[in-house]
Structure 1
Amino acid sequence: MQKSKRKELGLSCMLNTEVGALLAVIRRPPESNPGFYHLHEESCDASILQSLKSLRALLFNPQQEWRMVDPSVYLAPFLDVIQSDDIPAAATAVALQSILKILRLGIFDEKTPGAKDVINSAVTAITGCRLEKTNPIAEDAVMMRILQVLTAIMRHRCSFLLTDHSACTVVNTCFQVVQQSASRGDLLQRSARYTMYELIQIIYSRLPDIEVKDWENSESDTEDNSMDSGYGIRSAIDIFHFLCSLLNVVDIMETDGLTVHIADENTQVFALYLINSAIELSEDSIGKHPKLLRMIQDDLFHH
């Protein structure tokens, strides 16, 4: 068997294993009702089960090599699972793990048909993940997987195809996990903070290679809305503005009937750490982007 055919067969086997594992978890009856197998399966969205079964049916009969297959064919069923209200947290975690594996294996690249649409759709699905109310441990496990998948998306070779909106959404979602993890386990919070730092590194390390746009030299907020070049200076500006806004975060406390605003030093220190990283990675290229430079001179130094 040729090496290329073995590789294609290996990918088919991997996808088949992931589909099988996910179907097994979805079909597994709740621990409180171990005898109601069929009832539990019927309570799930039939279209989700059907899409997974349909994917399994075509895995070993691809019409072409996997690199040239639209990634939505094998990613969409997993993305549907994490957006469903009827899926248990355990299945959501398995679906996220499957997506993570697909991204890390690099089955598709920037030359694959549909790569841009699917990488942006993945961001939309993962940041809009519907999490079933369950025990804190299961919720933490899902949020850890979300952090891992978001990082994998930004590190993927197709990440430059992400829109500015998608890049900002990834960072915003990660920061939401940072905030939510404050009342949870220390491991989740440390992981969320490290992921946030990684995302900032990835985004701002691209800045030296980003061309200056005409709209940057204008006082107007209207920018070039071209979607062909992927994320760039617009998201870098918006994210930097967001980081600067964190320097104003305060905790509201009630003392003797009075409302007292106290600076949230933990958030401020974390924001400064991220801002410092963004500036270091941007190097001298900050001076080439007037709006970003003005933000540093005005917004940042103002604080």
Structure 2
Amino acid sequence: MGRLRLQSSIKAIEEEPEDCEATSSNKAALECMINSEIGAVLAVMRRNVRWGGRYVSGDDQLEHSLIQSLKTLRRQIFSWQNEWQSVNPSLYLQPFLDVIRSDETGAPITSVALSSIYKILTLDVLDVNTINVEDAMHMVVDAVTSCRFEVTDPASEEVVLTKILQVLLACMKSKASVMLSNQHVCTIVNTCFRVVHQAGTKGELLQRIARHTMHELVRCIFSHLPDVDNTERSLVKGGNSMKNETAGLDADYSFSSKPENGGGTSEYDGQLSAGAFNASSGLISGMMDESNARTENGKDAVPYDFHLMTEPYGVPCMVEIFHFLCSLLNVVEQPGMGPRANSLTFDEDVPLFALGLINSAIELGGPAIRHHPRLLNLVQDELFRNLMQFGLSMSPLILSMVCSIVLNLYQHLRTELKLQLEAFFSCVILRLAQSRFGASYQQQEVAMEALVDFCRQKTFMVEITCQSVVKERFSSELSFVQYAHSCIRWSDCCDSGNG
């Protein structure tokens, strides 16, 4: 027995060096990876005439600060003795982020720096256990959303915009994304939509990538909704507490247009650091305007909780993002939106895009929406108002998407949306299903298919029958009361006449 215990203990001792070797190997691999990215950025900078000339002299004092920071990181990276999670991420992120922020770098250099940040995020170098990970994630979002670079040709510009989308999506999919604040999540969504807007005047590939990224962002954000603590102190403060679930996404600015620059090598006019995309001004000022509007109207004057915006992201940013998506449907109705102002506002394009994003949010948010009054109110009021309008669209594509959204809402929130669902069936589905109201064959076909889909739900016919019985009984009782009241009035008239 003693020998067995001895052998067991020896095996346990022998396993420890293996774990240490694995940790050391992983650390070395990460160091080599970052060193490789440093070399890639420096190599692209050497190819540029502006930066290449600085390598003629061996004097480090003549080198630009961007080059110095990259070289310093290269010298230090293999000398760090701590475990990788104990290394401050700002040490190896800051040199790349400085390149991204700089307006002296061209599109190719900025593109490589963005690729380096993307690789660090996708390899899960950062997680919740990393030291100062919250500050690191905020640094990445702030730098990427304020990216500035010189435009040399349209192709390289589109590459940079694509890389921006990739990095921002990687931020939301990272294990450390839970450390992002409501403010930063709103900034990410607003920035990505800005790229969607700008892509309307660029290549088709960038347009498709930008829209796909928006869909992935919405799905990633709203998949977090079921995990939100419903008893969180900052969200449950009484009857009007949900008024504070707002972040301040600036939809109007997102649709604004900037004058285009005719110079090929000048600073990029579409830089993502201006206006509403400034995390410290645009989001907060948007909410201040809303709060002031409430106060002036004398309704629900609730002081805005600025601290809420700096907390880990949850319901507040989701409320504002969902409101923003609904507002896209309202923008379609606004006259005077020319192709230069917004090239997406024609035909079916914008409604389908916005409805698709809303459908993704509902699919992922699901029944958790009912636990948050502000989100539920948006669905009951603003969303259904738009669904009723676009449900009567002549486009079968839009009608089909509207019916899909309503079916999802029925599955998740039918007890909270009885009146809305009844109105939708009466004013849209049943009306379009009949040719006497002027609906086209395609509209009738989509409406009938939607009606069949609802009838296939186990509870639909039962609920419709119960509601019909209640309404019929209520209608008969109301008719009886009206009849009795008229009889009483007739009797009074007769009595007064006889008198």
| TM-score normalised by L of structure 1 | 0.89
Where does the alignment leave 5 or more consecutive residues of structure 2 unmatched? 1-17, 245-303, 339-344, 387-499
Matched, 1:289 2:304: no
1:55 paired residue number: 73
Percent sequence identity over matched residues?
A: 46
Distance 1:246 1:232 in 2: 22
Q: Residues 236-274 of structure 1: CA distance to partner in whole angstroms, max 9, x if unpaired?
A: 0010111011002246268xxxxxxx8664112211111
1:20 to 23, 31, 39: 39
Equivalent residue runs for 1:59-208 within 5 Å: 59-208=77-226
Q: State the SS of the aligned residue for 1:60.
A: helix
Q: State the SS of the aligned residue for 2:336.
A: strand
- Assess, with a 3 A threshold, how the Cα gap between structure 1 residues 274 and 178 changes in structure 2: closer, same or farther: same
1:237 paired residue number: 319
Q: Residues 172-214 of structure 1: CA distance to partner in whole angstroms, max 9, x if unpaired?
A: 1111111111111111111110100000000001111112321
Q: Residues 142-165 of structure 1: CA distance to partner in whole angstroms, max 9, x if unpaired?
A: 111111111111000010110001
1:4 paired residue number: 23
2:336 paired residue number: 252
The residue type equivalent to 2:67 in the other structure is: L
Distance 1:246 1:215 in 2: 31
Q: Does the 8 Å CA contact 1:208/1:285 hold for their aligned counterparts?
A: yes
- Assess, with a 3 A threshold, how the Cα gap between structure 1 residues 114 and 216 changes in structure 2: closer, same or farther: farther
How many Å apart are 1:4 and its aligned residue? 1.9
Distance 2:84 2:113 in 1: 20
Distance 1:12 1:77 in 2: 15
Distance 1:41 1:238 in 2: 53
2:355 paired residue number: 272
How many Å apart are 1:215 and its aligned residue? 4.4
- Assess, with a 3 A threshold, how the Cα gap between structure 1 residues 238 and 253 changes in structure 2: closer, same or farther: closer
- Assess, with a 3 A threshold, how the Cα gap between structure 1 residues 295 and 263 changes in structure 2: closer, same or farther: farther
The residue type equivalent to 2:355 in the other structure is: L
Q: Does the 8 Å CA contact 2:181/2:309 hold for their aligned counterparts?
A: yes
Q: State the SS of the aligned residue for 2:193.
A: helix
Equivalent residue runs for 1:214-233 within 5 Å: 214-215=236-237, 217-218=239-240, 220-221=243-244, 222-223=304-305, 225-226=307-308, 230-233=312-315
- Assess, with a 3 A threshold, how the Cα gap between structure 1 residues 9 and 123 changes in structure 2: closer, same or farther: same
Distance 1:281 1:148 in 2: 21
How many Å apart are 1:108 and its aligned residue? 2.3
Distance 2:181 2:116 in 1: 24
Residues 48-57 or 207-216, more deviating? 207-216
The residue type equivalent to 2:240 in the other structure is: S
Residues 243-252 or 186-195, more deviating? 243-252
The residue type equivalent to 1:111 in the other structure is: N
Distance 1:191 1:98 in 2: 20
- Assess, with a 3 A threshold, how the Cα gap between structure 1 residues 144 and 41 changes in structure 2: closer, same or farther: farther
Residues 121-130 or 45-54, more deviating? 45-54
Residues 245-254 or 100-109, more deviating? 245-254
Distance 1:21 1:11 in 2: 15
1:46 paired residue number: 64
Count of residue pairs the alignment pairs up: 291
Find runs of 4+ consecutive structure 1 residues off by over 4 angstroms. Answer: 39-42, 226-229
Distance 2:215 2:191 in 1: 13
Higher relative contact order structure (alpha carbons within 8 Å, sequence separation ≥ 6): 1
- Assess, with a 3 A threshold, how the Cα gap between structure 1 residues 97 and 283 changes in structure 2: closer, same or farther: same
Q: Does the 8 Å CA contact 1:248/1:268 hold for their aligned counterparts?
A: no
Distance 1:273 1:118 in 2: 32
Where does the alignment leave 5 or more consecutive residues of structure 1 unmatched? 255-261
CA RMSD in angstroms comes to 2.4
How many Å apart are 1:227 and its aligned residue? 6.5
Distance 1:107 1:171 in 2: 23
Q: Does the 8 Å CA contact 2:104/2:149 hold for their aligned counterparts?
A: no
Q: Which has the larger radius of gyration?
A: 2
Residues 181-190 or 224-233, more deviating? 224-233
Distance 2:239 2:306 in 1: 12
The residue type equivalent to 1:252 in the other structure is: G
How many Å apart are 1:299 and its aligned residue? 1.5
How many Å apart are 1:115 and its aligned residue? 0.1
Q: Does the 8 Å CA contact 2:173/2:220 hold for their aligned counterparts?
A: yes
Q: Does the 8 Å CA contact 2:124/2:174 hold for their aligned counterparts?
A: yes
Distance 2:56 2:110 in 1: 15
1:257 paired residue number: none
How many Å apart are 1:41 and its aligned residue? 8.7
